[in-house]
Structure 1
Amino acid sequence: MTARTAEVAVFAGIRGPARTFSYLVPDGLDLLPGHLVRVGLGQRAVPGVVVALDGAAGDRELRPVDALVHPSPLLRAHQLALATWIAERYRCGLADAVRAMVPPALASRARSAGLASARGERTEAIFALETAGRDALAGSVRVGARQLATIRALAAGAVTARDLADAGGSAAAARALARRGLVLAGTRAVRRVPAEFALADDDRARDLPATGPQAVAIGAITAALGSGHGFLLHGVTASGKTEVYLRAATAALARGDGVIVLVPEIILTAQVVARFIARFGDRVALLHSALSPGERFDEWRRVLDGVADVVIGSRSALFAPLERVGLVVVDEEQEPSYKQESDPRYHAVDTALELGRITGAAVVLGSATPRVVTYEAARKGELASLALP
């Protein structure tokens, strides 16, 4: 059997090498582009991502790939293509561009033999009554006052420690009952969505008819899904841009595509984020720099696993591992925060347009005061101009 080689973008330090490195693929190791691997570089074991499989090794003496860190590719083909474009356009190392697409907690743990769960992943204890616990309500089993209150709370529907405390029981009593076989104890993952993204009112705009200009914009964007075309949605504050985003996103999701929504500062645009969460619920993942490493890993993994197909966040949300990207929205595209000031130094608006060209996603740049270059692109017909008075 002819030996194969893999081109790997290695994460060797604060700044990655400008080039990739070739490694021998051991027999029996089924590698694909996008796989996270552990390789030797000098005297160190470092993580890296396979960017290409290069065929036969020929007469070269190469070090083998040490280990596959995760069984599934963590980066999609379009992400690798976008990383290559970023490296060429912004003159950065390919490893830097690739690493920007991988959660920091994931890359740092790839030096170990396997990929554990996120360090920051939160769980909560949950409890349920066993049959013997229900018998205790009738007095057939002797329990203390707090334990009896806990059993009554569980019988009434309490599940979590908070539920038990509100009903006069306690998690400690529930654990003691679990040791006696009266209660079943377990855990469940807790998704962390900040309270500021909760919408105070119902999503009342969902069923309202679109205005004339909104209907024109929605129709143009939905007709362009799959084409890679770009749009400038030019409208003043409160002109209804967010509802256009939401209805275009609904159309993209109906096609089986994912949606990426970029906002300049997620805390300052909490109302936009809350509207998406209210409309699409748990299909929304939040990716932004204010998240802890564990929180970021949790959200990223929900996207990779296909649980979430609407991604909202700042610049780096553009690199979410959606299987198919159908719509990219850049809200307030004139904001300077879309420019990354550290390696890889990229502009998220231009990168979003390139992602649209790679994947065929429609790209909508929304603004009341667009950048001069964006306005000129719309004037020249490079972007379709949609106005919301």
Structure 2
Amino acid sequence: MVYIVQVLVEHPTHALDTTFDYLANEEIMGGVRVAIAFGYQRIIGYVLGCEYSSMTKEELEKIAGFKYRYISEIIDERPLLNQELQELSLTLAKLTLSPRISCLQAMLPPQLKPSTNKSVGIKYQKVIKVINKNIVVNTVKQQEAYQFLKEHVDISLKDFPYSRGLLNKLIEQKAVLVVDEEIYRDPYLDNQKKEHEFPLTPDQQKIVGSIISKINTYHTALIHGVTGSGKTEVYLHLSKYVIKNNKTVLMLVPEISLTPMMVNAFKHKFGKQVAILHSKLSSGERYDEYRRIINEEVKIVVGARSAIFAPLEKIGLIILDEEHDSSYKQETKPRYQTTQIARIRGKYHNCPVILGSAT
């Protein structure tokens, strides 16, 4: 009694653009990476399907006429891409005549691609946790430190203002415990300037009103306005409306140099509800931002071209600022036009696609 797992291998060639069957002793979700033996190599595969079989390995091999191998390791606890994006990878493969694995790799940040060249992991910091609030500690100084920890919940070890020896005494008395806690790397934590909010002009109000009137239907709207004419304010007001209705926003900008400006505007307005995706982030930062999106901890994703594949659920608005810009075209395989992908996702979620342009 085993599970037959259909796996795409990491090599993006047409000759290998099919699934290969492996066996597993447990059910594996579609959309996770696995380590497999492929020929004489140990490579990474991407699971597309898994089905239960009541037959033994030997019985399956007799019917199939070849030897089955078992999955070596399950790398991910949960799917990296949601159902929509897995379907989109198939559509993109047909549109661009590319192997499906190369489309899946294009959707994921480098650290999460189905590839053996993976590195970055979760970042941790040491945190002091009070595990018993009713202990009578030995000295006045210990009591002072103990009281401080009760008032400052889960403070990091590096921010503890007392000596390590004092902390060790509290640990010995089973008053506190030092644990490793996962933290996210935030590239814009200390780099947010205060932005002034301005009331909408009559023209801006007209645009916002016309889009909101059809907010739950797929359509494409073009906002024409030169740089500095106030398109960003329109984006912010539309995003606020969408989030208020419990949906998410995908906000794309063409150049990485423009991204911090847009990030600052959205971060000021929506705070930690914003995630950032672009190539200038470090590997760790991009890895953490992607996991925040998967864990549904954000409502807005701001990013460059590849952010069009952000695994947001319940998208209510997709915006491409400066949509005429040539950097929205992917020049390596799979070659795609970001606007085309935005329209496909807009149809799937039945939401507007807003194109902003100064031309």
TM-score category, normalised to shorter length: 0.7 to 0.9
> TM-score, structure 2 length as denominator?
0.80
> TM-score, structure 1 length as denominator?
0.74
Question: Which AA in structure 1 matches 2:36?
Answer: V
3-state SS in 2 of match to 1:100: helix
In 2, Cα distance between the equivalents of 1:125 and 1:176? Answer: 14
3-state SS in 1 of match to 2:94: helix
Cα pair distance change 1:18/1:280, threshold 3 Å: farther
Kept in 2, the 8 Å contact 1:9–1:98? The answer is: no
2:353 corresponds to 1:367: no
In 1, Cα distance between the equivalents of 2:292 and 2:24? Answer: 32
**Cα drift, residue 293 of structure 1:** 2.3
Cα pair distance change 1:124/1:109, threshold 3 Å: farther
CA RMSD of aligned residues (A): 3.7
Once the two structures are aligned, what percentage of the paired residues are identical? Answer: 30
Match of 1:193 among 182, 186, 202: 186
1:248 corresponds to? 238
Kept in 2, the 8 Å contact 1:38–1:65? The answer is: no
3-state SS in 1 of match to 2:262: helix
Question: Which AA in structure 2 matches 1:201?
Answer: K
Question: Which AA in structure 2 matches 1:293?
Answer: S
Cα pair distance change 1:55/1:131, threshold 3 Å: closer
Gaps of 5+ in 1: 113-117, 370-389
Match of 1:330 among 292, 313, 320: 320
Kept in 1, the 8 Å contact 2:27–2:50? The answer is: no
**Cα drift, residue 252 of structure 1:** 2.5
2:304 corresponds to 1:314: yes
**Cα drift, residue 31 of structure 1:** 4.4
The 5 Å alignment of 1:1-389 reads 6=6, 8-12=7-11, 15-17=12-14, 19-24=16-21, 26=23, 29-51=26-48, 60-61=64-65, 63=68, 66=71, 67-107=73-113, 119-127=120-128, 140-141=138-139, 154=149, 157=152, 159-161=155-157, 163-164=159-160, 169=162, 172-173=164-165, 175-181=167-173, 183-195=176-188, 198-201=191-194, 204-205=196-197, 209-369=199-359
In 1, Cα distance between the equivalents of 2:318 and 2:251? Answer: 6
Cα pair distance change 1:104/1:163, threshold 3 Å: same
In 1, Cα distance between the equivalents of 2:186 and 2:159? Answer: 19
Choose 121-130 or 327-336, whichever is displaced more. Answer: 121-130
3-state SS in 2 of match to 1:364: strand
Deviations 1:118-139, CA, capped at 9 Å, x for gaps: 8443333333567799855xxx
Kept in 1, the 8 Å contact 2:23–2:70? The answer is: yes
Deviations 1:314-373, CA, capped at 9 Å, x for gaps: 12211111222222111122222222233333232332222223332321111212xxxx
1:375 corresponds to? none
Kept in 2, the 8 Å contact 1:286–1:311? The answer is: yes
Deviations 1:250-299, CA, capped at 9 Å, x for gaps: 23223332221112234433121112112222221111212222222211
Question: Which AA in structure 2 matches 1:39?
Answer: I
3-state SS in 2 of match to 1:366: strand
Choose 17-26 or 91-100, whichever is displaced more. Answer: 17-26
Gaps of 5+ in 2: 54-59
Kept in 2, the 8 Å contact 1:261–1:312? The answer is: yes
In 1, Cα distance between the equivalents of 2:100 and 2:338? Answer: 17
In 1, Cα distance between the equivalents of 2:352 and 2:191? Answer: 28
Question: Which AA in structure 2 matches 1:141?
Answer: T
Kept in 1, the 8 Å contact 2:316–2:349? The answer is: yes
Length, aligned pairs only: 348
Deviations 1:366-387, CA, capped at 9 Å, x for gaps: 1212xxxxxxxxxxxxxxxxxx
In 1, Cα distance between the equivalents of 2:168 and 2:260? Answer: 42
Kept in 2, the 8 Å contact 1:47–1:110? The answer is: yes
